[in-house]
Amino acid sequence: MSAISRSWLAFAAAGVGIIHCALIIGAPVGLALPLGILGILELGWGLLAFTRDQLPAPRAAIVVALAPLVAWGALVAAASTFHIGALGSVLDVAPWGIAAVLQLFVAGSLARHFRRVSDGTDATASAPSVARYITALVVGALVVFVLTLTALATINGPATEGNDVDDLFDIPSHVGH
Q: What percent of the chain has pLDDT over 90?
A: 44
Using alpha carbons, list the distances in angstroms from residue 91 to 27, 128, 163, 177: 9, 41, 21, 42
Cβ-proximal residues to 124 (8 Å cutoff; 6+ apart), any chain = none
100, 92 Cβ separation under 8 angstroms: no
- Segment 27-49, tens digit of pLDDT: 888 889 999 999 999 999 999 99
CB atoms within 10 A of CB 170: 10
Distance CA 106, CA 112 (A): 10
Mean pLDDT (the chain) is 83
Cut 0.85: pTM above it:
no
**Domain locations in the chain?**
3-174
Give every CB contact of residue 112 below 8 A, 6+ residues apart in sequence.
none
